[in-house]
Copies of this chain bind each other. A is one copy, B any other.
Amino acid sequence: MKTSIGAKDIVFPTPVFIVGTYGEDRKPNAMNVAWGGICSSNPPCIAISIRRQRCTYENILKRRAFTVNIPSAKYVTEADYFGMVSGKIADKFKTTGLTPVKGDKVDAPYIQEFPFNIECKVIDIFQISEHTQIIGEILDIKVNDEFINKHGLPDIDELKPLLFDPAGSRYHVTGNAVEHAFSAGKAFMASEK
């Protein structure tokens, strides 16, 4: 049996995107964003949804640039802090001791210690509700060397990215692989009806 739980902002999984921006006087800021994901492959683009009162929103509008930094499990405390305090009142990089590095491609800082950093330039902005969705074209991704596999791609098992559970309000690690994509489903293709 199924139970209706009503209209809620819950899906599984949601990401833990730490969005890096510069404010006035080039003060670096970082914010924790769970509402987002890839929204285009060619060119590769990422969508993030944030509320308009956020410091990050103002910063993005001014410089048309942001980074998305994905934390590994060891940075869960820093990631959570980035979602609890406004950059309008705190210097979140100073407090956490993490290192903002100016992007090579855009005018926004990435987080040196986080293993996966995406540089994005804003190509569109959509008003949806109280949330504004910002579309960033991905101009480059940087990955810590030790997490790059023999194919030149990031290895999720080594990188151990966090994910967020909006129902339980907890961070989780990524679990084991269970199947290869575009492969497991072949089992049904022989019996297509």
Q: Which residues of A contact B (CB under 8 A)?
A: 1-15, 17, 34-47, 49, 68, 70, 73, 76-85, 90-91, 94-96, 104, 116-118, 124, 126, 128-131, 133, 135, 137-145, 148-149, 152-156, 159, 161-189, 191-193
Known: A3-B142, A40-B128, A40-B131. 19 other contacts (CB 8 A): A5-B148, A7-B137, A9-B40, A12-B159, A13-B161, A14-B38, A36-B37, A76-B179, A80-B181, A81-B184, A95-B188, A149-B168, A156-B167, A156-B172, A170-B177, A171-B178, A172-B175, A172-B176, A173-B178
A14-B38, A77-B188, A144-B1 known; A165-B171 Cβ under 8 A: no
- Could you say which of B8, B41, B91, B131 contacts A141, with CB atoms under 8 Å apart? B8
Name A156's contact: one of B49, B82, B165 (CB within 8 Å).
B165
Assembly stoichiometry (copies): 2
A35–B133 Cα gap in the complex (Å)?
15
Cα distance A44–B173 when bound, in Å? 25
Cross-chain contact B43 with A39 (CB below 8 angstroms)? no
Cβ B81 vs Cβ A189 within 8 A: yes
In the complex, chain B residues whose CB is within 8 Å of the CB of A172? 156, 174-178
Q: Are A4 and B185 in contact (CB under 8 A)?
A: no
